[in-house]
Amino acid sequence: MRPDNQKTYTVKEATVKLMQFCAYRERTHKEVEEKLKKLNMIPAAQEQIIIQLMQENFLNEERFAKSFARGKFRIKKWGKKRIINELKIRGISPRNIQTGLKEISETDYLKTFHEISDKKWEATKETSITKKKKKVADYLQYRGWESQLIFEKLADLITNEN
């Protein structure tokens, strides 16, 4: 044990630990680097472990981007803008972000957008049409849906309401 009571790891031990970490769910390079820093691995060892994880396909950013985009769209009903921003925050390359977005079919994307827009419109109990429109627009923008889609949909909903 080191004086600061922090366990030290050999490269082999840290590699096994990181393999388990990556096998649990998809990880980004950034998450793996942070985990290695917490394990107090020196930069040379970090690089060696990351290369091994990539070679053995435990770490694959393209796969992460695809899985993330699919999951956040299907489960959380996020729009592309939110997915792109979240992937950027996680340090994913623009090329991998575009690859991830290809996992979402345009048909499913629009169908989901219309479903959640209609549902939110119906659920919003607001007598003023202007306030209702703003609440629904804010909700959809927060979820990452494109402004153009939102404005077209709101115009359509208002027309159908009258």
* Per-residue b or e along 65-91, where b marks 16 or more CB atoms closer than 10 Å to that residue's CB: bbebbeebbeeebbbbebbbebbeebe
User: Region 20-35: what's the mean pLDDT?
Assistant: 93
Q: Into how many domains does the chain fold?
A: 3
Whether 49 and 17 map to the same domain: the answer is: yes
In a domain, 3, yes or no: no
Domain of 113, in residue numbers: 106-161
Q: What pLDDT is recorded for position 96?
A: 96
pLDDT tens, residue by residue, 41-58: 999 999 999 999 999 999
Whether 115 and 148 map to the same domain: the answer is: yes
Whether 75 and 122 map to the same domain: the answer is: no
The C-alpha atoms of residue 33 and residue 119 are separated, in whole angstroms, by 41
pLDDT tens, residue by residue, 78-92: 999 999 999 999 999
Whether the pLDDT of residue 2 is over 70: the answer is no
Distances (CA, A) of 13 to 9, 18, 62: 6, 9, 26
pLDDT tens, residue by residue, 114-149: 999 999 999 999 899 999 999 999 999 999 999 999
